[in-house]
C-alpha cells in the first residue's frame, strides 16, 4: 500500500473544475485507488482527455458533464445528476477558479466582479447544495481549494485574495454548522503551485510540484482535516504575515 492509499478510501467522488492542474493530479491518485469519479469542467475537449487518462489509470467508473460553473442557476440540476450517476457521493472536490488580472480589476469593477463571482459566488452556490445533501445523509466530505492569498490582502492580488478570504470564511462557518451533523469540510490553502494558473509568473519553476500537493490533499481528506496549508511551510509563513502590524504592512510591496 502506498502513502496515498488507505483501506477506507471513499469510492464516489464528484470533481468540479476537473481540468484544473491540481484537480487532475489529485484525480490521478484517486483513479489509481479505483475510485468512481464524476468530472465537471467547462472545456469538453480537455475534459474528455482527462476522463480517458483517468480510466486508463484505474478509475472504476467515470462520468462527465460539461458546464460553466459561473451559471449558478444550473447547479442544482447538475449536482443532482452527478450524484445520481455516482449513486451517492463520499467526496465533493471543488477546484475551479480564476486568478484574474489585478491591474485591470483595480480600474474595472466588472473585472473584479468576475473574479468574485467565479471564485466565491459559484462555490457558495455549489457548497450550499452539497452541504445540505450531506447533512441529510449525515456523511460526506466537501474539500475546497481556497488559497493562502485569502489570509491577508496584498496590493499585488487583493481582488483574488478577497474572493479566497470570503471563501475561507464561508467554509469555516459552514464547518461550524455541519461538523456536528457528520459532515467534513476541508479548506485547502495552497501556496504557489506549478499549474497553468501560475505558468507566466516570475520564478514559477520554483513553485510547488502539483503531484506532491495532490498527495497532501488526498491525505488531508482521508484524515478528515479541517484546514490544509500546502506545502506545510505556508502555515507558519502566513501566521507571520497575518501578524505584521498594519502600519508596517501597508508600506510593503507584497
Ligand atoms: N496554482 C496555484 O498556485 C494555486 C494556489 C492557490 C490556490 N489555487 C487554487 O486552486 C484551484 C485550482 O487551480 P489550478 O492551479 O489547478 O489552476 P488551473 O490549472 O488554471 O485550473 C483552473 C480551472 O478552473 C476552471 N474554471 C475556471 N472558471 C470556470 C468556470 N466558470 N466553470 C468551470 N470551470 C472553470 C478552468 O477551466 P478552463 O481550463 O476551461 O479554463 C481550469 O480547469 C483554483 O481555485 C485556484 O484558485 C491555485
Residue nearest to atom 17 of ligand 1 (CA): 197
Query: Domains in the chain and their CATH numbers?
Result: 12-194+202-249 (3.40.50.720)
pTM, 2 dp: 0.96
Measure 95 CA to ligand 1 centroid, in angstroms.
6
pLDDT tens for 150-207 read 999 999 999 999 999 999 999 999 999 999 999 999 999 999 999 999 999 999 999 9
Q: Check if 100 has its Cβ closer than 6 Å to any atom of ligand 1.
A: no
Cβ(210) – ligand 1 distance below 6 Å: no
How many other CB atoms are found less than 10 A from the CB of residue 250?
9
Describe the crossing of helices 210-222 and 21-32 by its angle, rounded to 10 degrees. 60
Predicted confidence (pLDDT) per residue in 86-131, tens digit: 999 999 999 999 999 999 999 999 999 999 999 999 999 999 999 9
Task: Kindly report the backbone phi and psi dihedral angles of residue 37, in degrees, each rounded to the nearest multiple of 5, phi listed first.
Answer: -125, 135
Q: Cα(17) to centroid of ligand 1, in Å? A: 7
Going by alpha carbons, the residue nearest to atom 28 of ligand 1 is 97
Q: Report H helices in 150-192.
A: 158-178
- Cα 29–chain centre separation: 16
Closest alpha carbon to 23 in 182, 172, 177, 143:
143
Q: Using the atom order of ligand 1, give the atom closest to the CA of residue 68.
A: 32
Is 158 one of the annotated active-site residues of the chain? Answer: no
Amino acid at each position: 500500500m502506498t502513502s496515498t492509499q488507505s483501506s477506507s478510501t471513499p469510492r464516489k467522488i464528484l470533481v468540479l473544475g476537473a481540468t484544473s492542474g491540481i484537480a487532475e493530479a489529485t484525480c490521478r491518485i484517486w483513479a489509481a485507488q479505483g475510485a468512481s469519479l464524476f468530472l465537471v469542467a467547462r472545456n469538453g475537449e480537455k475534459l474528455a482527455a482527462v476522463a480517458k487518462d483517468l480510466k486508463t489509470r484505474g478509475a472504476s467508473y467515470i462520468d462527465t458533464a460539461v458546464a460553466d460553473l459561473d451559471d449558478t442557476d444550473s447547479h442544482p440540476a447538475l449536482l443532482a445528476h452527478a450524484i445520481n450517476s455516482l449513486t451517492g457521493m463520499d467526496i465533493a472536490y471543488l477546484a475551479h477558479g480564476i486568478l484574474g488580472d489585478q491591474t485591470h480589476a483595480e480600474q474595472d469593477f466588472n473585472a473584479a466582479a468576475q473574479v468574485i463571482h467565479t471564485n466565491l459566488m459559484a462555490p457558495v452556490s455549489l457548497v450550499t447544495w452539497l452541504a445540505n445533501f450531506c447533512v441529510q445523509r449525515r456523511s460526506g466530505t466537501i474539500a475546497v481549494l481556497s488559497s493562502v492569498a485569502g489570509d491577508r490582502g496584498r496590493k499585488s492580488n487583493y481582488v483574488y485574495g478577497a474572493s479566497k478570504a470570503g471563501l475561507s470564511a464561508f467554509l469555516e462557518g459552514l464547518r461550524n454548522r455541519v461538523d456536528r451533523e457528520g459532515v467534513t469540510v476541508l479548506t485547502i490553502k495552497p501556496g504557489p503551485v506549478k499549474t497553468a494558473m501560475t505558468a507566466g509568473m516570475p520564478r514559477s519553476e520554483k513553485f510547488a510540484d502539483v503531484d506532491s500537493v495532490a498527495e497532501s490533499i488526498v491525505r488531508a481528506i482521508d484524515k478528515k482535516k479541517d484546514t490544509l496549508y500546502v506545502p506545510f511551510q505556508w502555515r507558519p509563513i502566513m501566521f507571520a504575515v497575518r501578524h505584521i502590524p498594519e502600519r508596517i504592512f501597508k508600506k510593503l510591496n507584497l
